[in-house]
Structure 1
């Protein structure tokens, strides 16, 4: 679902990011808690000042899933062809949805066992390790820290992708109006560094929240303009390949997973629902949202690829003719939208990094340490963008490496660990299913990263 999908949810309370301490989980857990857990309903013990309705939760989840990642779908189809792209997107959408289901379901069930109202991603991982197979329980704290850092670097990787899109979009506009300019990609990255350093120093979330609504409006307007250009002078459907070389499929899979996977946002949405039992199930908020997401992603990928073919770039806005006013507006809109999205996204990993490092910093140096931390990570994302300037390749690499692990492999491992001593179902179907998902996720990770690196080396 995520991204460029968003990993922060804007609600009435601002961006929700799980910061609950797992210390509330009973460290003296005993097996009898499994029997007692049936008496505890985490949903009834949640105390929320402003719980979200099903409709609002659907809107939050849809908003986070339909980010600028949808604009990368034509580039994904370039690595699959039309028919393979359509069925591949649907299948990957189902797999991603099921893995999200596993994460949320496991979080709900382990909340019953540990008698905690709600848990975030990292807290769910620690709770599963703490109450799972005995040999693995000593790794519970390490597992939480590991997932925390993995989530932080995943979002920072997405921020680097945003910088690349910013630079490429601005370069197109400048090159159109100043044909003889000699500005390089690195120069553009350096120019963006100053405003990014300024805005990423904002630590008050209320000051960032309005930027999210503005960015969403700009993205919606950009989406409509892109559809206008796609549907204008639509080419013959038979002119493009129905499938491509199988060696390109890892790039397709990585791009789709990056665009579609919003694993960091589902638990915050579920945790703030008035009726969290409506999140899963059929139809359920999750299934309805993902059905809409998969449908829109498939349509945009197919139509955009048919329109621009092998010239499809990492964002379809880069294919629009800069000389025309609507296209120029779309490029300006995406520049502003991505800039504000960057600052909002950046808030979440900084919260994660700070809560894992602040105990090592003296109280009087907290403010200085946070400023330095934010500056360092901002600079790192800009350096990454300057080093790897090809947008579609970085998207594939990010999706294959980070989102394959957090979105496919980790939820399957958690589901398997939770059920290991509680029953794996008839014919051990949970074991078989989760192993298949883990193997598939590992394949996506290894093959996607390998192919992305090859493409980066080939075009460098």
Structure 2
């Protein structure tokens, strides 16, 4: 697969030769699900434990609807900007930031997406480390030890040029996610049939209201993939049907999230851990699912970290010293010392992410932090502010009021996590 160092995935999707894509409605639904559903779903039962099953359900519903609505706002902003351009070209999230705020807007937008990708990469490492530590308990290895044991493997994988080789592992990880969800639901049914718990024992709304923002952060984190909005819409053959297709996908995803969160919390109650797979019985099937999840994430980690590499290397290749190492030919190809510099840079990034992951106290805490801050800004605050700036004069009063409401709630949500 040929790579263009100037194109940044999630920020600058690969341009198409025509304004119409080729993906069908069914393919787009599949792409939406793959882009949004990730490891965060396995932290939902823990969020429901913190918030209560009713408050958790309402939180997921609100997060899902708000993310869906803001995705449509982003598409409207892109269409508005595209109509003002004389030349047909790809409009990116960064372009919208530049149009609304200038260079600071572009830098801020791309920086937030950069941090979001780094956060997702760290979450992968923490998830793998916690699961491996639970499987090999008593072997004198901590979560941090397992994370650092992965570093040489991830460095080697990050040096592979083609991402196409990792696609099957991404699908494999998604299958393991589904299997893990199935095991949790099975455990819930078994415990209920034995009378191990009563529905009345599970709280509908937590007594500790301070835990609601924490649980909300996990819910927002579960709807990750917002940066893929424009690329997903542009990939469709019938782009006018994107809102309907997106709504259909979000309806099913949100429903599954709510049911899984309730089932997981009902099964384990106050014993629910921040990664629900840690609650599974240590039989061979549950162990196989956990190992499968870890293997899938180990091989999909390079996909998560690739946009970060593209951003850093895009900046690197513009530096004079790097161009001198590459005989002033960095824009055409990278050879010799230039490749060594890129390999060292990728290795340094993996090591840095591993060090950061080793200090994370737990998957749930980190997922909530990323969801409440970076994800909330990317998914709610920026789309609402862009929509007001670009289309404010043509909006109805209720539309302006709704945009302002989303903007203020997004900012408030970011601040509540720290209280």
The answer to whether the superposition gives a TM-score over 0.5 is yes
Could you say which residue in structure 2 is the equivalent of 1:362? 323
Could you say which residue in structure 2 is the equivalent of 1:163? 125
Structure 1 range deviating more: 87-96 or 356-365: 356-365
Tell me if structure 2 keeps the 8 A contact 1:65–1:260.
yes
Q: Distance in 1 between matches of 2:83 and 2:341?
A: 38
> Shift of residue 18 of structure 1?
4.8
Could you say which residue in structure 2 is the equivalent of 1:241? 203
Match of 1:214 among 172, 175, 183: 172
Could you say which residue in structure 2 is the equivalent of 1:407? 379
Root-mean-square deviation over aligned CA pairs: 2.2
Tell me if structure 2 keeps the 8 A contact 1:401–1:445.
yes
Q: Distance in 1 between matches of 2:25 and 2:89?
A: 19
> Shift of residue 16 of structure 1?
6.0
Q: Distance in 2 between matches of 1:207 and 1:262?
A: 21
Partner-residue secondary structure (3-state), 2:114: helix
Alignment length, in residue pairs?
Answer: 393
> Shift of residue 238 of structure 1?
1.0
Could you say which residue in structure 1 is the equivalent of 2:189? 231
Could you say which residue in structure 2 is the equivalent of 1:274? 237
> Shift of residue 402 of structure 1?
0.7
Could you say which residue in structure 2 is the equivalent of 1:87? 58
Q: Distance in 2 between matches of 1:358 and 1:226?
A: 48
Q: Distance in 2 between matches of 1:52 and 1:16?
A: 18
2:307 is aligned with 1:348: yes
Could you say which residue in structure 1 is the equivalent of 2:115? 153
Could you say which residue in structure 1 is the equivalent of 2:12? 19
Could you say which residue in structure 1 is the equivalent of 2:48? 77
Could you say which residue in structure 2 is the equivalent of 1:143? 105
Could you say which residue in structure 2 is the equivalent of 1:330? 289
Could you say which residue in structure 2 is the equivalent of 1:372? 344
Q: Distance in 2 between matches of 1:121 and 1:366?
A: 30
Tell me if structure 1 keeps the 8 A contact 2:233–2:239.
yes
Residue-by-residue CA offset, 1:182-234 (whole Å, 9 max, x unaligned): 22233222211111111122222222223223323333333322322232212
> Shift of residue 408 of structure 1?
0.8
Which of structures 1 and 2 has the larger relative contact order (alpha carbons within 8 angstroms, sep 6+)? 2
> Shift of residue 45 of structure 1?
4.7
Could you say which residue in structure 1 is the equivalent of 2:329? none
> Shift of residue 296 of structure 1?
0.4
2:266 is aligned with 1:306: yes
4+ runs deviating over 4 angstroms? 15-18
> Shift of residue 272 of structure 1?
1.0
Could you say which residue in structure 1 is the equivalent of 2:19? 46
Gaps of 5+ in 2: 1-7, 327-336
Could you say which residue in structure 2 is the equivalent of 1:56? 27
Structure 1 range deviating more: 220-229 or 265-274: 220-229
Structure 1 range deviating more: 206-215 or 388-397: 206-215
Could you say which residue in structure 1 is the equivalent of 2:221? 258
User: Cα distance 1:186–1:276, how it changes in 2: closer, same or farther (>3 A)?
Assistant: same
Could you say which residue in structure 2 is the equivalent of 1:339? 298
Q: Distance in 2 between matches of 1:433 and 1:440?
A: 10
Partner-residue secondary structure (3-state), 2:12: coil
Tell me if structure 2 keeps the 8 A contact 1:152–1:350.
no
> Shift of residue 47 of structure 1?
5.8
Partner-residue secondary structure (3-state), 2:317: helix
Query: TM-score scaled by structure 2?
Result: 0.88
Tell me if structure 2 keeps the 8 A contact 1:111–1:119.
yes
Could you say which residue in structure 1 is the equivalent of 2:406? 437
Gaps of 5+ in 1: 1-14, 23-42, 130-135, 452-460
Q: Distance in 2 between matches of 1:398 and 1:164?
A: 13
Partner-residue secondary structure (3-state), 2:385: helix
Query: TM-score scaled by structure 1?
Result: 0.80
Tell me if structure 1 keeps the 8 A contact 2:63–2:220.
yes
